[in-house]
Chains A and B, each alone.
Chain A
């Protein structure tokens, strides 16, 4: 258990319906003691950022398999900044080629989990890197 009630939003931007990974991660993080909120499918950057702010989460996990990450993620990061919520950590996973990672890091994605990552890796990463927001 994490002990400090870290709140996680698992969000699905993009038009794809592939939610197997997102759901497995929701369940694993819940089992690891996090409070997990799942947006459901096909959320716009606006909807995701609004949910993150309203739910007062500490970390957002973006799951996308459509290939639109390089277009959608910057929008999400800009909106977080606009709303003064850029202290929320943002992590990502899905079908994201490793050569896109430098770009994603540049726009402020803290960590991209490539295919084959274990749910334990993700839970551990949050434990080590995410603190409860004030």
Chain B
């Protein structure tokens, strides 16, 4: 691929000849009427890629070797030869007892890490007896109000051996404190526990919308966790900077890439402002991406993400420790790509998406279950999803060689273009004064809503085909799925009342007052939150006290 003018001229000539004489002529005769080929994000794709598309390509500069800057081919020198990705199924439903049982089931069937899904009242920082919690208890995840629930959730699960990821954002500091407290009760030091809290509030304002406080105090709380984590819980990933939800809300692949990395930059800048040292906390930042249907676009996205982040850390933040430039990421296959129609087809979609995640170099992976357009997955469905990963790992052979798609003219060109387009967005947001400012202007929200609308229209015009939905339709056959009994709410609520009756209420009151005072004084809140949860103060009580200090965020309504 090195530049050589005479052979390039001759290649150009042969290519034009092939295009005009062979391809165009044959296409005219072919029955295919499709005039334009685009990715699911609407990006135009050419009929063929050749060395002509990689003008000035420099292997060492753009790819280098696995484990070498800019890490395009992977952050580790051995990749899956050294260690497979972590198979981590996001899971949680009903009561803490129900979910604890599911965790033990998954671990006994070869899953290698836990990932907690909380129900919506927990995600929104409400106790289960809050009026807004009605009808929501245990539905979208497991119900957790206090340390008492958390102790049951991890009962007989050794927290020194298992790493746990928790999908929790606005109240992340509180749930993390509960986890640390459970570990201590098991006799496990915070120094050895490992896992991740999602703790990414920016993408909540942008896409998933489960925010509580306004941006400023939210960012402060997150920096508190960075600071506390780097000293007290050194093996914990204090944030998982997430593009997943941005994509699910309807963004293109480039928007997912750009907004996520710009969020990453925003967190680093806010932490620097506090006086934290990049070298100390950046290696604990992790990322989380979506794996959607368009196979090559997704692989290119993951590769571009690594290259951009490596450059951002080196050039923008002048980080010296090479670990700062390692973009470690979890991937989840795309929830919105699952279809209620002919749901067994979802198994195939998930397999293709999971393969893209693996060929893109993910460190951990969640594969969705076929029944998730209806409800949380049944045990049978989640087993197929886990088996999909195991088949890719052990049967397909794709792990034998590192970054097997590297060097493909198409993949390299796509990777370059995604990098270029994402950097353009990042520059635009820099010009607005950063991501918090851009969010206040409604910029990423509007970009995503526009993309979602365009995609929906393309589907309705059948420019994009969804098998079983706008083509190849069949009569609907219902499938069995998990139903959360309303009895769950009663059972769970009984424990909440019991906790409030049996704990030392005077002590809880004192701890809550201390927390409020610390919040007003702008201290690092982690030690105070930890001491609240240990006294069995509930999540709702803790979050309410912070609502009083910080206020609540009202988003501008745009569509």
Is there contact, CB below 8 Å, between A23 and B373?
no
Q: How far is the CA of A9 from the CA of B208 in the complex (A)?
A: 22
Is there contact, CB below 8 Å, between A115 and B373?
yes
Flag whether A16 is at the interface (Cβ < 8 A). Answer: yes
Is there contact, CB below 8 Å, between A24 and B453?
yes
Flag whether B518 is at the interface (Cβ < 8 A). Answer: no
Number of interface residues of B (CB under 8 A): 43
Flag whether A53 is at the interface (Cβ < 8 A). Answer: no
Number of interface residues of A (CB under 8 A): 35
In B372-412, the 8 Å CB interface with A consists of 373-375
Q: How far is the CA of A115 from the CA of B209 in the complex (A)?
A: 21
Flag whether B129 is at the interface (Cβ < 8 A). Answer: no
Chain B residues near A95 (CB-CB < 8 A)? 373-375
The residue on A at minimum CB distance from B335 is A18
Is there contact, CB below 8 Å, between A68 and B139?
yes
When the two chains form the complex, which single residue of A38, A68, A98 contacts B478, counting CB atoms closer than 8 Å? A98
Is there contact, CB below 8 Å, between A38 and B559?
yes
Is there contact, CB below 8 Å, between A118 and B460?
yes
Q: Beyond A38-B559, A42-B132, A71-B135, is A16–B456 a contact (Cβ under 8 Å)?
A: no
Chain B residues near A115 (CB-CB < 8 A)? 339-341, 373
In B454-478, the 8 Å CB interface with A consists of 456, 459-460, 466, 469, 476, 478
When the two chains form the complex, which single residue of B131, B204, B341 contacts A17, counting CB atoms closer than 8 Å? B204
Interface majority SS (helix, strand, loop, mixed), chain A: loop
Chain B residues near A102 (CB-CB < 8 A)? none
Distance to closest chain A CB from B249 (angstroms): 5
Interface digits, B132-144 against A, CB 8 Å rule (1 contact, 0 not)? 1111100110000
Q: How far is the CA of A118 from the CA of B249 in the complex (A)?
A: 17
Flag whether B248 is at the interface (Cβ < 8 A). Answer: yes
When the two chains form the complex, which single residue of A28, A44, A66 contacts B136, counting CB atoms closer than 8 Å? A66
Q: Which of B45-53, B118-126, B542-550 lines the interface with chain A?
A: B118-126
Is there contact, CB below 8 Å, between A97 and B204?
no
Flag whether B210 is at the interface (Cβ < 8 A). Answer: yes
Flag whether B557 is at the interface (Cβ < 8 A). Answer: yes
Distance to closest chain B CB from A40 (angstroms): 5
Q: Beyond A99-B478, A116-B341, is A23–B449 a contact (Cβ under 8 Å)?
A: yes
When the two chains form the complex, which single residue of B249, B336, B481 contacts A97, counting CB atoms closer than 8 Å? B481
Q: How far is the CA of A44 from the CA of B204 in the complex (A)?
A: 21
The residue on A at minimum CB distance from B124 is A15
Q: How far is the CA of A23 from the CA of B453 in the complex (A)?
A: 8
Flag whether B278 is at the interface (Cβ < 8 A). Answer: no
Q: How far is the CA of A26 from the CA of B133 in the complex (A)?
A: 26
Is there contact, CB below 8 Å, between A67 and B139?
yes
Is there contact, CB below 8 Å, between B452 and A14?
no
Chain B residues near A24 (CB-CB < 8 A)? 250, 449, 452-453, 456
Is there contact, CB below 8 Å, between A66 and B140?
yes
Is there contact, CB below 8 Å, between B481 and A27?
no
Q: Beyond A66-B136, A71-B135, A116-B341, is A20–B484 a contact (Cβ under 8 Å)?
A: no
The residue on A at minimum CB distance from B122 is A15
In A82-96, the 8 Å CB interface with B consists of 95
Is there contact, CB below 8 Å, between B134 and A72?
yes
Is there contact, CB below 8 Å, between B120 and A23?
no
Flag whether B555 is at the interface (Cβ < 8 A). Answer: yes
Is there contact, CB below 8 Å, between A68 and B135?
yes
Of A22, A28, A71, A99, the most chain B CB neighbours within 10 A belong to A71
Q: How far is the CA of A114 from the CA of B374 in the complex (A)?
A: 10
Is there contact, CB below 8 Å, between A66 and B452?
no
Q: How far is the CA of A23 from the CA of B556 in the complex (A)?
A: 13
Is there contact, CB below 8 Å, between B456 and A97?
no
Distance to closest chain B CB from A12 (angstroms): 9
Chain A residues near B459 (CB-CB < 8 A)? 118
Chain A residues near B126 (CB-CB < 8 A)? 15
Chain A residues near B340 (CB-CB < 8 A)? 114-116
Is there contact, CB below 8 Å, between B452 and A44?
no
The residue on A at minimum CB distance from B123 is A15
Is there contact, CB below 8 Å, between B557 and A70?
no
Chain B residues near A68 (CB-CB < 8 A)? 134-136, 139
The residue on B at minimum CB distance from A19 is B209
Chain B residues near A16 (CB-CB < 8 A)? 120, 140, 210
Flag whether A120 is at the interface (Cβ < 8 A). Answer: yes
Is there contact, CB below 8 Å, between A44 and B131?
yes
In A1-39, the 8 Å CB interface with B consists of 14-20, 22-24, 26-28, 38
Q: Beyond A27-B559, A95-B374, is A67–B131 a contact (Cβ under 8 Å)?
A: no
Q: Which 4 residue pairs are nearest across A and B when measured between Cβ atoms?
A: A17-B209, A71-B135, A68-B135, A15-B120
Q: List 19 A-B contacts (CB under 8 A).
A: A15-B124, A17-B204, A19-B209, A22-B559, A24-B449, A24-B452, A28-B456, A38-B557, A40-B557, A41-B555, A44-B131, A66-B135, A67-B140, A67-B484, A69-B135, A71-B486, A72-B134, A97-B481, A115-B339
A-side residues, CB < 8 A to B, are: 14-20, 22-24, 26-28, 38, 40-42, 44, 66-72, 95, 97-99, 114-116, 118-120
A20-B249, A44-B131, A115-B339 given. 8 additional CB < 8 A pairs?
A17-B209, A20-B452, A27-B559, A38-B559, A66-B139, A67-B136, A67-B484, A68-B136
